[in-house]
């Protein structure tokens, strides 16, 4: 797992209170990890904070899995 | 009208994370007061409070027992306390496994006086320092007063009345009274009722200190600071926590063989129409509430064995006492009256419900809790049993619980042993 993927997974575990082994790159926030739309808003804010990236609303809407988040961050971080 | 009984109890208080720990400490004369640890209070005029203890403390509260990790992160502490106390009460009543039809007839009336002040304070600073885009998406529903009721009904699938009272320090008593009426009026068969509060944060302490409501003269002696009826009292000590009861229609409770703690037989409500923070100097509003509750219960002077006073450790204590005397007689008709705020502080919106539970436990165990620190009783207390310093064994068949709040709001509950 890349450093980014690890840090993303750690944030997801912490915010959603789920078991670490469930947080695979394929896991869907809503379908697999029990998040609701507000949880995703909160996660996106936490990613922005952790990685110093800005994730605009239209991009955030397309982030539905852990892998989507990792990919976006790797492509956009400074 | 249908009869309403109490079949379950739940407590989170500065004396314990559950009912039995709290009650044992209260009867033993322990105090929950101490220096504020929740934040650095060194620049405050008041530096003491009755905090709920962390889980590694012998009297501590473990939020992980009944509240999801995710919910804990999203909501203010008063909601966490409320969800836990509601769970305790349901478990105590044996009602954690109800049918869908029963759940449709089960509701909540759980309020708070102030709600999520610590979260409002935090996000306000956050907004100013970091901008609107950094405010939590859970900010609003994690602070709203009706969100104990909301969270509990979602957690357990209850679809009955979804109600939350906001009447400052009368909230807990009004919550129980209103819920009892909902059952009596056939709106529901089971109600979780009570209140919760947690405002031991810089803004909460500063606000009550500026309103000259808190004790600020005994910061070096926290356990002595809450001293209702004592000549040296000069303000309340902030408490926090939650108290929630299960109320149930009597025939239903009897049919399922539930343990019945007490019956809610009287509820009185009134307003002072006088001042935003000070009580009416003659306690007229308090008197009206007590008289209404006793009339509904069909009881008079001599019938009440124990009164859990509002008794905040302010000048208002003797105003309340004078009103009780007018209602029950100069000797209170033989009743004992104590203020348990001397031990747990003032839980504001949680106070009335926590104290109603103390009344119920007094009926269960035939013992009344003490008024701590009552060493030099003030004028007007002669000939009255205020249960100074030590708990007292006595017959307890009927109890009166008083709660009064800012805005001139008054509530009294009468509860009785069911034979």
Q: How distant is the Cα of A49 from the closest Cα of chain B, in angstroms?
A: 9
Residue to test with chain A: of B137, B141, B143, most A Cβ within 10 A: B137
Cβ neighbours of A45 in B, within 8 Å: 133-134, 136-137
CA distances to B98, B106, B158, B159, B248 from B102, in Å: 6, 6, 8, 9, 12
Asked about B163 being catalytic, the answer comes back as no
Cβ neighbours of A16 in B, within 8 Å: 70
Residue to test with chain A: of B69, B123, B151, most A Cβ within 10 A: B69
Cβ neighbours of B137 in A, within 8 Å: 38, 41-42, 45
Q: State which H helix or E strand residue B399 sits in.
A: strand B398-405
**B138 vs A16, A34, A42: nearest CB:** A42
Asked whether the ipTM of the predicted complex exceeds the cut of 0.90, the reply is: no
Predicted TM-score (pTM) of the model is: 0.96
CB-based contacts of B57: which residues, under 8 Å, 6+ apart?
Answer: none
Per-residue pLDDT tens digits of chain B, which is 419 residues long: 999 999 999 999 999 999 999 999 999 999 999 999 999 999 999 999 999 999 999 999 999 999 999 999 999 999 999 999 999 999 999 999 999 999 999 999 999 999 999 999 999 999 999 999 999 999 999 999 999 999 999 999 999 999 999 999 999 999 999 999 999 999 999 999 999 999 999 999 999 999 999 999 999 999 999 999 999 999 999 999 999 999 999 999 999 999 999 999 999 999 999 999 999 999 999 999 999 999 999 999 899 999 999 999 999 999 999 999 999 999 999 999 999 999 999 999 999 999 999 999 999 999 999 999 999 999 999 999 999 999 999 999 999 999 999 999 999 999 999 98
Q: What angle (nearest 5°) sits at the alpha carbon of residue B73, between those of residues B71 and B74? A: 65
Decide if B200 contacts B238 (C-beta within 8 A): yes
CA distances to B2, B82, B351 from B111, in Å: 24, 9, 11
| Separation of alpha carbons B66 and B84, rounded Å | 5
């Amino acid at each position: 797992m890349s450093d980014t993927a690890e840090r993303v997974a750690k944030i997801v575990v912490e915010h959603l209170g789920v078991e670490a082994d469930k947080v695979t790159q394929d896991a869907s926030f809503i379908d697999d990890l029990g998040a609701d739309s507000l949880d995703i808003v909160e996660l996106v804010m936490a990613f922005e904070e952790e990685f110093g990236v800005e994730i605009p609303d239209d991009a955030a809407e397309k982030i539905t899995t852990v892998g989507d988040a990792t990919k976006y961050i790797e492509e956009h971080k400074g | 009208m249908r009869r309403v009984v109490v079949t379950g109890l739940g407590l989170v208080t500065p004396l314990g994370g559950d009912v039995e720990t709290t009650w044992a400490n209260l009867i033993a004369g322990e105090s929950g007061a101490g220096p504020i640890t929740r934040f650095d209070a060194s620049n405050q005029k008041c530096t003491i409070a009755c905090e709920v203890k962390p889980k590694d403390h012998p009297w501590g509260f473990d939020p992980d027992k009944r509240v999801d990790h995710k919910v804990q992160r999203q909501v203010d502490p008063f909601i966490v306390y409320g969800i836990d106390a509601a769970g305790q009460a349901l478990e105590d009543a044996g009602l954690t496994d109800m049918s869908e039809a029963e759940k449709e007839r089960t509701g909540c009336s759980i309020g708070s006086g102030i709600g999520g002040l610590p979260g409002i304070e935090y996000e306000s600073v956050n907004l100013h320092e970091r901008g609107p885009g950094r405010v939590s998406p859970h900010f609003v529903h994690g602070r709203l007063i009706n969100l104990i009721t909301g969270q509990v009904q979602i957690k357990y699938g209850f679809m009955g009345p979804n109600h939350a009272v906001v009447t400052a320090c009368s909230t807990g008593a009004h919550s129980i009274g209103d819920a009892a009426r909902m059952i009596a009026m056939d709106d529901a068969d089971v109600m979780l009722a009570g209140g919760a509060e947690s405002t031991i944060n810089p803004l909460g302490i500063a606000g009550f200190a500026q309103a000259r409501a808190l004790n600020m003269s005994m910061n070096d002696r926290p356990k002595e600071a809450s001293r209702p009826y004592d000549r040296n009292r000069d303000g309340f000590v902030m408490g926090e926590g939650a108290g929630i009861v299960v109320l149930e229609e009597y025939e239903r409770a009897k049919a399922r063989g539930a343990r019945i703690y007490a019956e809610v037989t009287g509820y009185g409500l009134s307003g002072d129409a006088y001042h935003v923070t000070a009580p009416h100097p003659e306690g007229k509003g308090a008197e009206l509430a007590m008289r209404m509750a006793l009339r509904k219960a069909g009881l008079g002077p001599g019938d009440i064995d124990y009164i859990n006073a509002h008794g905040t450790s302010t000048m208002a204590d003797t105003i309340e006492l004078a009103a009780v005397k007018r209602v029950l007689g100069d000797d209170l008709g033989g009743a004992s009256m104590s203020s348990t705020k001397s031990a747990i502080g003032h839980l504001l919106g949680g106070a009335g419900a926590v104290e109603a539970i103390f009344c119920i436990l007094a009926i269960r165990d035939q013992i009344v809790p003490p008024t701590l620190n009552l060493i030099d009783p003030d004028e007007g207390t002669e000939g009255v049993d205020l249960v100074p310093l030590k708990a007292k064994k006595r017959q307890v068949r009927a109890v009166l619980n008083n709660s009064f709040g800012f805005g001139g709001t008054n509530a009294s509950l009468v509860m009785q042993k069911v034979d």
